[in-house]
Structure 1
Amino acid sequence: MAAVYDFVIIGGGTAGLVVASRLSEDPSTSVLVLEAGADLTADPRVNIPIFYAALIGSDADWKFHSSPQSGLNGRVLGLNQGKALGGSSSLNAHVFVPPFKGVVDSWEALGNPGWNWTMLKDYFSKAYSSPAVAQDAKGDLAIDGWPDLNEAKGPIQTSFGNGTHPIRKAWAELFRSSGQYNAGNPFIHSSVGSFSCLASIDSEGKRSNSASAYYKPVELRQNLHVLTNSLVERILFDESKPPKAIGVLFSLDGTSKTAQARNEVVLAAGAFQSPKILQLSGVGGTELLEKHGIDIVMNLPGVGQNLQDHMILYTAFQAKDDVETKDSLVRQEPEALSQAMQEYTATQSGPLASLGVHTYAYLPLPAPDRSALQALFTDHAPEDSQEHRATRAYYDIAKTTVLDLKQPSAAYFSALGQTNYAKDLNDESIPAASPGKFVTLGVMLSQPLSRGSVHITSINPEDPPIIDPGYLSNPLDLEIIARHLLRVKNLAQSPQLGELLEQPLKFRDPATDFQGSLDAAKKYAQENLISMWHFVGTCSMLPRERDGVVDSKLRVYGIEGLRVVDASAIPLVSTANVQATVYAFAERAADLIKRD
C-alpha cells in the first residue's frame, strides 16, 4: 500500500464513500479512505431493515450523548451516529425523503452562490434510483400522480417498503380533503403537503447504503484503498503561508501511521467528528485551542458551532385488530419473529423487510397559529448587528418559513407500530412495550432556531467531544412544535384515519391527549422530545464573516488542500430526514473537487 495518495478521505460514511467512488472513477487518481469502524456490509443487523435498532448502542455506534439540556428539564439524550463502513447510512431508519425547495434555496441566500434547489435536485437523481412500480400498483401506493417516477438512476436503491398498506391511501385522502396533498414526486415537484415516502431498501428487501451501493461495486479498483478500524488523530499541515494540508496521522492496530495527500485531504467524518478532528489539528477558535495547548494553524471560531438537529415527538393510537403493524416484533414475541424470519428468508419480504414508515407530510401551521407567532417573532428578534449577522440571517429564514402558508415548519409521518426509546440517559430505563396494535404519528420541527456546539475536551483523539445541541434554547421552537402537536389528535380523528384507528381514540400514553391545551403540549414536549439524529452545520458552508468554516466550494477558509464534504458543512438542516440530502450534497462535492 502506497503511503502517498492524491486524495486522503477521512471517514468512510454516507458522504465519504460517495466522494471516494466518484474521485476514483479516474484510474490515474489514487484515493485512500480511513474509516474508524468495521466493515459490516454482511451483518444481518445492517442488511435486514427491521433489525436496525439492534445496532444502536453496539460497536457500530459511536454512542455519543448530549450534555444535560436545560430546555428539556436537564435530560441527557442519546445521539447515535454510525461507526462502520457506510457510517450512519448503515444504521439509520431508511427514510429517503428530499428537503423542501425553500430550504435549499436558503443555502444560497446565506451566501453560497449556486447552492439552490434547481442545482441540487439534479444531484438527487445522480445519487439514487427510483423503484420500478407497475402502473396498476400506483393507486395502492398513493403515487398515481407520479408520471416521472423512474427518472433517477443512481447507486442508492430505493423502494416503497414492503408492498402496499391501507395507511398510504388513507393518508393521501386525508390530506387531499384539506388541500394539502402533494400530487407529484417530491424529489422533482417540491411543494407543501403529504406524500408516500421512499425507503433506502432495495428490491430484495435489503438496506441500500453508501457501502453497498457506492463502495462494494468498485472495491476492486486498483486506485481505491479503504482502511477500516483506522482512527484519525489529526490532519498534518506544512509550514507554508497559507498552510496546506499534506496528510493525515491515524492509528491502526494500536500503531500510529501517516498517509500523505498530494492534492487534498477531504474531511467526511460527520457533524461531531469533523469539527473534533479540525480542532485537534489546530483549526478552530483560538480560545478553545489555547485552552488545550494546541498550536493554532487557523483561527476559525465557527468550527463546532451552528449545530442543528430535528427533534421529534411520537403519539401512538390503538389500531383496529385487522390493521397490520410491527407491534408483535417490538414486543419480540417468539412466534411472530419466527414467522417473519421464515417469510423473509423465503421471499425477502414480510414484516422484516420494512420499518413501516410509509407516509410523510410537510406542513405549515394554520392561520391562527401563524398570527399568534407573528408577535412572538417580533419579541424574540436578535440584534441586527455585525456581531449577530449569522444569527439574524437564520432568524429571518425561519420567520419566513413559519409564517408562510406555502412553506412547511414541521414534518409529520406515520409509523405502523409503537415506538420505545430511552428519553433520558440519566434514567436508562425504556418503557415496557404495550399489548395491542398501534399506529404512531410523529411530528418533527423542521426549521429549529435553537443552535448547539461540538467541542473537544482534551487532546486525546479517543475522547468524545462535548456535544450541546441546545435543544429548545430558543423559546420560539417550543411555541412552534407545541402548536403542531395540538394538530395530531384532529388528524387521528379524521374519517380517513378512522378507518384504521379505534374510535373514540385510545392513546397509548394518555398524557399525549392535550385536550387542546397549549401549555400541556409544551410541558409534554419538554419531557419527551428526543433527537432524530439529523445533525448538520458544525463546519458550515457560510461566509467567513458569518462564522463560516468552508466556502461555497467546500474549501476550509485560509487553508489549501482541505475540504469538508459531509453533513457538517450543510448550513441549514433539511426539512426532514437528512440521508438523501447528504448523498446529493456529497455528489455535488465530488464534482467540485473534480472541477478544481
Structure 2
Amino acid sequence: MAASSYDFVVIGGGTAGLVVAHRLSEDPSQRVLVLEAGSDCTEDPRVKTPAIFKSLFGTEADWDFRTEPQPNLGGRSVNINQGKALGGSSAINAHIFVPPTKGLIDAWGSLGNEGWNWDVLREYFSKVYTPPLVDDAFKKSLGIGEWTEQSNPAKGPIKTSFSGHLHHPIRRAWAEVFETCSSSMANDPFLDSSSAGCFSVLASIDPENKERSYSVSAYYNPIKDRQNLQVLTNAVVEKILFDSGQPPKATGVQYIHDNETKTVVATKEVILAAGALQSPKLLELSGIGDAKLLERHGIEVIQNLPQVGENLHDHLVCYISFEAFDNVETLDVFLREPEAMERAKYDTSRSGMLSSVAFYTYAYLPLVQSLSGKDHEILKELLRLNRPPVGTDPSQERARIYHEVAENTILHSREPTGAYLTALVQLTPPVEPSSDSPADPVPGNFITFGVMLSQPLSRGSVHIVSDQVSSPPVIDPNYLSNPLDFEVFARHMQYAETLASSPAFSKLLKQPLRRRDPASDSRNLDQAKKYVQTSAVSIWHVGGTCAMLPREKGGVVDAQLRVYGTQNLRVVDASAVPLISTANLQATVYAFAERAADLIKDTHGLR
C-alpha cells in the first residue's frame, strides 16, 4: 500500500469539509488533502439548475439512505437524501439559506460548550455569504422595506439571492398575513435573529448566473490550483489510523481509490467531515464507539465512547397543498407538461421559474401565542409528564438538559418551535395506502404550506451493522417518540390552516379552499395528528450524532471539536452540532465549519 503525507487530512469534501480545506490551505506552508467518496458533479446541469434539484435524488450523487421503519409514522421507512458528490449535500439541497435564532445558538453554550453563542457565531455567518443587492422598487414586495437595519456587512463566498419573481403575489400575501398579528421581522434575520416572525427567504443561488452557489463553486473552484491542496474524488475512506499511545493519536487514514487500498499520513490532524450519518459510522469502523458494539463486529476498541452515533435528531416536515387560481404562476406546469422544461429557456435566458425552487417565504413561529389558556396548560402538563429522570448516565443527563432547553422554548412567547414555508408547487408526500389520497401530481396550480418541527425532543441513533465500509449504517431517528413532539407538531399544522384561510390568501387560493389531498385537512387536532403520522417526511436536517457536549453529558467532541479520549482528531460537520438549527441547516453548517477552521488554526499557530 503506497503511503503519502499531509499536514491535514479531511475526510469528506462536502459542505463543511471544503470550507475547512479552503481555510487551512490559505497558509501555503500547510499541505491539505481532502478525500471525497463521491464524484465531481460540478458541470452536471442537475446541480446547477435550481428548480430540478430533486432529479439528483436516488442517483449516483445521493447516498439515498432510508431509516428503519418508524412506529410513530405508521411503520413507514423514510428517505433521507444526503449528497454523495464533491460539495456533499450542498450539491443537492433545496438552496434555502436561513439563519438559526439567537436563542438556539445561545443554548449551545448553555449546554456546556464554552465560547459557542450567537455573539461569537454571528461573525462566522458574515464570513460565509454575500447578501443580494435589492433595488428599492422591490423592497416592499419582498417585505424588507421597513427593516430598521438595511446594511448587512456580510462578504462571503456563497452568493445568495431572493430567487424567482420578486413581485410574485405570494410574497405580499405572506407579509400581509403576519402584519395583522404583528409577526413581521423588523430586521434581516441574519443581523437580528432574536425574534420570531415572517420573512422572504434567501436562496444559495447566484443572482448573476442563476446557478447553485455551493461549497464547490464558492470555496473550492476559486482556489483549486493551490499547490498545497489536493482533492481526491471517488476516494472511499475505510478507517482512521491510530498509534498505540495513550491517549491514542490519529496518524492517518486508510482509503480505497482506483480500486486500490491506500494509506495517507496526517502529521497534524485528521479532520472528520463526512456528515451526520457517515461520521459516526467512520468513528465506529475505526474503533471509536460503544465497546460492546465494536467487539460484536470484530473491531479493535481504540476508545470506548458509547455516545458515538447517539443523539440523532432531524426535522420532520408536513405539507398541505391548496389549489391556486389559474393565473398564479407555479411550478406545476413542469409536473403536467415535461416539454415545458424546454420552453422555459433557462439555458439561454437564466430567468423564469427554473431559476428558483419556488420557496419564497418563511416564518419562525412560537406556539403559545396561538393557544388558549387550556391548551397552554395541556402543554405544560405534557412537559411535566415527559421530563426525563435525573440520573448519572450520560444519556440521561443529555436528555435532561435538552428537555430544559425545549421547555424554555415551548413556553416562550417569542421563541419559535415551528418553521413555516410556502412552495409554489404541489408536493406529493406519502399517503395512507388504503385511502383515496392521490399519490401522484394532480391537475391544477397549487400553493403548498409546509410546517417543520423546529426543536424535536425525540432522539434516535445511527450505527454500523458490520465491519465493512460498504454496508450502509442502520438509521433510526425514532421520530415522534416523545409525545411533546407529536402534540407541538400537530398544533402547528392547525395554525398553518389558519394562515391559508386568511383574507390575504383569498386572492391566491380558490375558495372555498380546495385541498390536493382531502386527508390533509388539519383543522381538527386529531386529524392533524393522523395526517402527520401518515404524511410527515424528513427534510434532511440530520445532526447531533457526534455531539459537542461535555463528556459527562453525553458528548463525543469537546468545545474545540476534539474527539474525547483521542489526539489529533476532530469532527467539524453537522454531526457535532449539539442542537440542529431552527430550520434548514445549510447556513449553520457553513458557519460552524468556518469557526472549526479557526479553532484548528489557533491550535497550530497558523495564519
The alignment's TM-score, normalised by the length of structure 2, stands at 0.95
Of the three residues 343, 350, 359, the one matched with 1:339 is: 343
* Cα 1:510–1:424 shift into 2, 3 Å: closer
Q: Which moved more, 1:413-422 or 1:196-205?
A: 413-422
Report how far residue 69 of structure 1 moved.
Answer: 0.6
The match for 2:198 is 194
2:60 alignment partner AA: D
* Cα 1:530–1:554 shift into 2, 3 Å: same
The match for 1:160 is 162
The match for 2:356 is 354
Distance in 1 (CA, whole Å) between partners of 2:95 and 2:551 is 35
User: Does the aligned pair in 2 maintain the 1:323–1:500 contact within 8 Å?
Assistant: yes
Q: Which moved more, 1:229-238 or 1:381-390?
A: 381-390
* Cα 1:481–1:286 shift into 2, 3 Å: same
The answer to whether the aligner puts 1:297 opposite 2:302 as a matched pair is yes
Report how far residue 556 of structure 1 moved.
Answer: 0.5
* Cα 1:377–1:9 shift into 2, 3 Å: same
Report how far residue 308 of structure 1 moved.
Answer: 0.7
The match for 2:558 is 551
The match for 2:30 is 29
User: Does the aligned pair in 1 maintain the 2:366–2:415 contact within 8 Å?
Assistant: yes
The match for 2:314 is 309
The answer to whether the aligner puts 1:261 opposite 2:238 as a matched pair is no
User: Does the aligned pair in 2 maintain the 1:131–1:150 contact within 8 Å?
Assistant: no
1:163 alignment partner AA: H
1:379 alignment partner AA: L
Distance in 1 (CA, whole Å) between partners of 2:297 and 2:519 is 46
The match for 1:180 is 183
The match for 1:401 is 409
Report how far residue 139 of structure 1 moved.
Answer: 1.3
The match for 1:274 is 279
2:520 alignment partner AA: T
- Correspondences of 1:1-400 after superposition (within 5 Å): 3-146=4-147, 147-164=149-166, 165-190=168-193, 191-203=195-207, 204-331=209-336, 333-340=337-344, 342=345, 344-365=346-367, 366-368=370-372, 369-387=375-393, 388-400=396-408
Distance in 2 (CA, whole Å) between partners of 1:502 and 1:134 is 32
Distance in 2 (CA, whole Å) between partners of 1:440 and 1:84 is 30
2:190 alignment partner AA: F
1:519 alignment partner AA: D
Distance in 2 (CA, whole Å) between partners of 1:172 and 1:412 is 13
The answer to whether the aligner puts 1:491 opposite 2:499 as a matched pair is yes
- In the TM superposition, what whole-angstrom CA distance separates every residue of 1:56-95 from its partner, at most 9, and x where no partner exists? 0000000110001111111001111000000000000000
- Secondary structure of the structure 2 residue equivalent to 1:234: strand
- In the TM superposition, what whole-angstrom CA distance separates every residue of 1:178-219 from its partner, at most 9, and x where no partner exists? 011112100111111101110000011100010110000000
User: Does the aligned pair in 1 maintain the 2:121–2:591 contact within 8 Å?
Assistant: yes
1:210 alignment partner AA: S
Q: Which moved more, 1:271-280 or 1:140-149?
A: 140-149
User: Does the aligned pair in 1 maintain the 2:382–2:483 contact within 8 Å?
Assistant: no
- Secondary structure of the structure 2 residue equivalent to 1:68: coil
- Secondary structure of the structure 2 residue equivalent to 1:5: strand
Of the three residues 523, 531, 544, the one matched with 1:524 is: 531
* Cα 1:102–1:426 shift into 2, 3 Å: farther
Report how far residue 503 of structure 1 moved.
Answer: 1.5
Distance in 1 (CA, whole Å) between partners of 2:376 and 2:456 is 16
The alignment's TM-score, normalised by the length of structure 1, stands at 0.97
Report how far residue 294 of structure 1 moved.
Answer: 0.8
Distance in 2 (CA, whole Å) between partners of 1:555 and 1:426 is 50
Q: Which moved more, 1:272-281 or 1:385-394?
A: 385-394
The match for 2:549 is 542
* Cα 1:509–1:424 shift into 2, 3 Å: closer
Distance in 1 (CA, whole Å) between partners of 2:461 and 2:154 is 36
Distance in 1 (CA, whole Å) between partners of 2:525 and 2:135 is 45
User: Does the aligned pair in 2 maintain the 1:298–1:559 contact within 8 Å?
Assistant: yes
Report how far residue 330 of structure 1 moved.
Answer: 2.5
User: Does the aligned pair in 2 maintain the 1:389–1:546 contact within 8 Å?
Assistant: yes
User: Does the aligned pair in 1 maintain the 2:429–2:536 contact within 8 Å?
Assistant: no
1:187 alignment partner AA: F
- Secondary structure of the structure 1 residue equivalent to 2:114: coil
- Secondary structure of the structure 2 residue equivalent to 1:406: coil
* Cα 1:311–1:174 shift into 2, 3 Å: same
- Secondary structure of the structure 1 residue equivalent to 2:252: strand
Distance in 2 (CA, whole Å) between partners of 1:292 and 1:2 is 27
1:314 alignment partner AA: Y
Distance in 1 (CA, whole Å) between partners of 2:83 and 2:235 is 14
- In the TM superposition, what whole-angstrom CA distance separates every residue of 1:354-387 from its partner, at most 9, and x where no partner exists? 0110110000112323332011111111102222
* Cα 1:37–1:121 shift into 2, 3 Å: same
- Secondary structure of the structure 2 residue equivalent to 1:272: coil
The alignment covers a number of residue pairs equal to 591
Report how far residue 475 of structure 1 moved.
Answer: 1.2
Distance in 2 (CA, whole Å) between partners of 1:272 and 1:199 is 25
- Secondary structure of the structure 1 residue equivalent to 2:591: helix
2:137 alignment partner AA: D
**Aligned CA-pair RMSD:** 1.6
Report how far residue 335 of structure 1 moved.
Answer: 3.9
Distance in 1 (CA, whole Å) between partners of 2:203 and 2:286 is 37
2:471 alignment partner AA: D
Of the three residues 598, 602, 606, the one matched with 1:591 is: 598
Report how far residue 2 of structure 1 moved.
Answer: 8.0
State the identity as a percent.
Answer: 56
The match for 2:476 is 468
2:516 alignment partner AA: R
User: Does the aligned pair in 1 maintain the 2:6–2:33 contact within 8 Å?
Assistant: yes
Distance in 2 (CA, whole Å) between partners of 1:426 and 1:227 is 48
- Secondary structure of the structure 2 residue equivalent to 1:15: helix
User: Does the aligned pair in 2 maintain the 1:540–1:570 contact within 8 Å?
Assistant: yes
Distance in 2 (CA, whole Å) between partners of 1:46 and 1:370 is 45
- In the TM superposition, what whole-angstrom CA distance separates every residue of 1:10-55 from its partner, at most 9, and x where no partner exists? 0000000000000000000000000000000110000000111110
The match for 1:479 is 487
- Secondary structure of the structure 1 residue equivalent to 2:265: strand
Report how far residue 425 of structure 1 moved.
Answer: 12
